[in-house]
Amino acid sequence: MSKIFTLFTALSVVLSATQAAPTTHEQPEPAHVPAPAHEPVHEPVHEPVHKAPVHLPVHEAPEIVVPKHLTFDRWGGFDSLKGFDNFYGLDNFDGHRFSQVIVKPKHELVCRVQNVHVVQQRLLVLQELAKRIITERVCEVEAQTILFEQFHGGLRSFERDLLRLPGAHQVGYDEKIVSHFPKFFNKDGSLNDDDWGFTGHELGRNTVIVRGHNWDDSRSFKTVRDAWHAARNAWGRFW
């Protein structure tokens, strides 16, 4: 709004300057003398006034330079982010690009209806465990933010799977990666800092599919999207 007001003001000043009558060295206009009879009357000819064009400043949008590769390796000069890109690979920030290999589990996995309160308990434990890992094992707040967004992005990838969006993966989980969960804590309850010997490149290579859900191609694309919208509206009220 301020830019528009400035341009309007500049335009008004220029137009006023070009239209204002001179205030000095004015010559009195000659008295009008009626022309003799039978003589043509010469009316004054008003030549068109050619005003100089008004050039207003043009504010061009700054050129956006998109880097060829987006890297977070030592981002901001933080050595704690050394090797960041190696985990999932360059330009695969949250690991959403991976190839799935479906494996058959030793025992068929079938979902079992459980009290929603129990499910919420487990998910809350995982949430707080993620907070503990980020705050206890990363000291730079900038690095904490980047690592959390990477973690959150991985969950958003699973969201696409649940919605069965084009290009999404089958809804399942990597059983080999999940098998590392018991290693989280030492005997004294502290976080285990051992290298567990894998990277994000291995994500999806041992995917198992849980059977028994109520997905129906004739209706579930719509009902799942309706559920997603309802949940997002509840979540979005606080942002």
pLDDT, tens digit, 9 for 90 and up, residues 55-95: 544 444 444 444 567 899 999 999 999 999 999 999 999 99
Torsion of CA 170, 176, 181, 183, to 10 degrees: -160
Mean pLDDT for 159-188 is: 97
Residue 161 Cα to chain centre, angstroms: 19
Q: For position 237, what pLDDT does the model report?
A: 76
Q: Is residue 175 packed enough to be buried (19+ CB in 10 Å), middle (13-18) or exposed (0-12)? A: middle
Long-range contacts (CB closer than 8 Å, 24 or more residues apart) made by 195-199: 199/86, 199/87, 199/88
Residue 230 lies in a domain: yes
Does the pLDDT value for residue 232 go beyond 80? yes
Residue 183 lies in a domain: yes
Does the pLDDT value for residue 9 go beyond 90? no
pLDDT band per the 50, 70, 90 thresholds, residue 208: very high
Q: For position 4, what pLDDT does the model report?
A: 39
Residue 170 lies in a domain: yes
Return d(Cα 218, Cα 239) in angstroms, integer.
34
Residue 93 lies in a domain: no
- pLDDT above 90 covers a percentage of the chain that reads 68
Total number of domains constituting the chain: 1
Q: For position 235, what pLDDT does the model report?
A: 85
Contact assessment for residue 206 and residue 103, using Cβ atoms and an 8 Å cutoff? yes
Q: For position 174, what pLDDT does the model report?
A: 98
Residue 30 lies in a domain: no
- DSSP state, residue 201: G
Q: In the structure encoding, which two tokens stand for residue 32, read together?
A: 């009008």
Flag whether the pTM goes above 0.75: no
Residue 45 lies in a domain: no
- DSSP state, residue 237: T
Residue 85 lies in a domain: no
Q: For position 47, what pLDDT does the model report?
A: 53
Length of the chain: 239
User: Inter-axis angle of helices 220-236 and 141-162, to 10 degrees?
Assistant: 150
Q: What is the pLDDT of residues 111-169, one digit of tens each?
A: 999 999 999 999 999 999 999 999 999 999 999 999 999 999 999 999 999 999 999 99
User: Inter-axis angle of helices 141-162 and 116-137, to 10 degrees?
Assistant: 150
- DSSP sequence for 91-135: T-TTS------B---SS--B-----HHHHHHHHHHHHHHHHHHHH
Q: For position 18, what pLDDT does the model report?
A: 40
* 191: containing domain: 99-236
Classify the C-alpha dihedral 181-186-190-193 as positive or negative: negative
For 53, list phi and psi in degrees, rounded to 5. Answer: -60, 145
Q: For position 69, what pLDDT does the model report?
A: 73
Does the pLDDT value for residue 23 go beyond 50? no
Does the pLDDT value for residue 27 go beyond 70? no
Place of tokens 């559920």: 227
Q: For position 51, what pLDDT does the model report?
A: 52
Poorest-pLDDT segment among 37-41, 137-141, 161-165, 203-207: 37-41
